[in-house]
Copies of this chain bind each other. A is one copy, B any other.
Amino acid sequence: MGGDMEFFERVGNRPGKPVMLDALKWDRDGLVTVVAQDATNKEVLGVAHADRVAIEKSLETGLMHYYSRSRKKLWLKGEQSGHFQKLVELRVDCDGDALLAKVRQIKANCHLGFRSCFAYRVAKARTGAWRVREVGRKVFDPKKVYGK
C-alpha cells in the first residue's frame, strides 16, 4: 500500500516483458519477493527473491529462477537437487513488489527435505505457552540429495 501509482497503471496497456519488468517495484537490492505455490493443491511452498534476470529467465525457460541472496547470484531452482519448479502461471500484486509463481514442483521445495519450506507451526500448548512444532511433510533425505 502506498500513495504512488499502482503496478497496473504503470504498465498501462503496453505489451512486452520490458514494460512489465520496468513497472515492478524493485527494492534497494534490485529484488522483488516471490511466493511459490503448488499449482495443483495450492500449498504455499516457499518465499524467495528474484532480480530482473531471474524473472526473464523464468519466463523464457518456464523453469523458476531466483536470485540467491546468500550466494549473491542467479539460481535456477533445482540446479543442484533436480527439484525444479515448472512455472504454470505468474501473478503480480497491486503495488508490484511481490510475485506469485504457481508452479509444478518436482519432489520438494525445501532444502531440508520438506515439500514446503513452511514446515513449522507456531501454536499454543495446553500449558498456555507458545511452541514451535515441526509439521512439514518430509519427502526426501537432504543428506542423499546434497551429500551433506
Contacts and interface: CB of A to CB of B under 8 A. Distances in A.
B117 A98 contact: yes
Copies per assembly? 2
A114 B94 contact: yes
Interface size class of A (residues with CB under 8 A): 35 or more
Interface of A: 1-3, 6-8, 11, 15-17, 19-20, 23, 33, 35, 37, 41-44, 46-47, 59, 68, 70, 89-95, 97-98, 100, 110-112, 114, 117-123, 125, 127, 129-132, 134-135
Per DSSP, chain A at the interface is mixed
Contact of A20 (B17, B42, B117, B122): B122
A110 B23 CA distance: 19
